[in-house]
Amino acid sequence: MNYLIIIIGAIFVNNIVLNKFLGVCPFLGVSNKVSTSVGMTGAVTFVMVLATIVTWLLQKYVLDQFNIGFMQTVTFILVIAALVQMVEIILKKISPPLFQALGVFLPLITTNCAVLGVAMLAVQKDFNLMEGVVYAIANAIGFGLALIVFAGLREQLDLANVPKGMRGMPIALVVAGLLAMAFMGFSGIV
């Protein structure tokens, strides 16, 4: 039951993008096409889950053991940067079109505060390793859900008759706000 609460809470109630406002840069930057959003979701999921596992282990077996918890942020950022480099190399070899489509946003996963936020929250919430992994996967699903839904809405906006002054990012921000309000409807479930 505890895992179900973690999953529903992370995906819907406390969505990392729409409730905690972490990872807004890729949310706004990569959400022009659904296909690009799906690729970004995969990359963020991979990095978020691996980063949570590695950072949780580092926190429990290195930082806490040597009483150097003050090094948490720096350590976590270095781990995430190394993992993003690994994802970048893998995507370049496996899927060059996706690598090109993600462009500058792939290295930005390094500075994606959603990845760092999930890794830190998994430690702060005192989850065990399995709960931390479930939390990371659920947050990645929530991130992907928000990103893909928003990309679909933006593709539809391209076909709509939007007033000239609202085209582009202004209407995207209005839609993002409405999407965040829609997700607020899930509050109180968990």
Distances (CA, A) of 16 to 3, 29, 61, 63, 125: 17, 16, 27, 26, 15
Residue 31 pLDDT > 80, yes or no?
yes
Tell me which residue of 46, 52, 21, 26 sits closest to 116, measured CA to CA. Answer: 52
Query: Residue 85: pLDDT above 90?
Result: no
How confident is residue 83, by pLDDT bands cut at 50, 70 and 90?
A: confident
Q: What is the CA radius of gyration of the chain?
A: 17
* pLDDT at residue 35 in the model: 86
Question: Closest Cα partner for 13 from 138, 166, 118, 160?
Answer: 138
pLDDT tops 80 at residue 154: yes
CB-CB neighbours of 57 under 10 Å? 13
CA distances from 46 to 66, 91, 140, 181 (A): 29, 12, 9, 28
pLDDT at 90 over 90: no
Question: Domain-by-domain residue ranges, the chain?
Answer: 23-184
| Residue of 43 and 4 predicted with greater confidence | 4
At 41-76, the pLDDT tens digits run 888 888 899 999 999 999 999 999 999 999 999 999
- pLDDT above 80: residue 190: no
Residue 107 pLDDT more than 80?
A: no
What was the pLDDT predicted at 17?
A: 94
pLDDT at residue 120 above 90? yes
| Helix (H) or strand (E) run with residue 89 in it | helix 72-94
Least confident of 49-58, 87-96, 172-181: 87-96
Say if CB 22 and CB 111 are below 8 A apart: no
Dist CA 143 CA 114 (whole Å) = 9
Q: Is 144's pLDDT higher than 80? A: yes
pLDDT the model gives residue 48: 92
Provide the mean pLDDT of the chain. 90
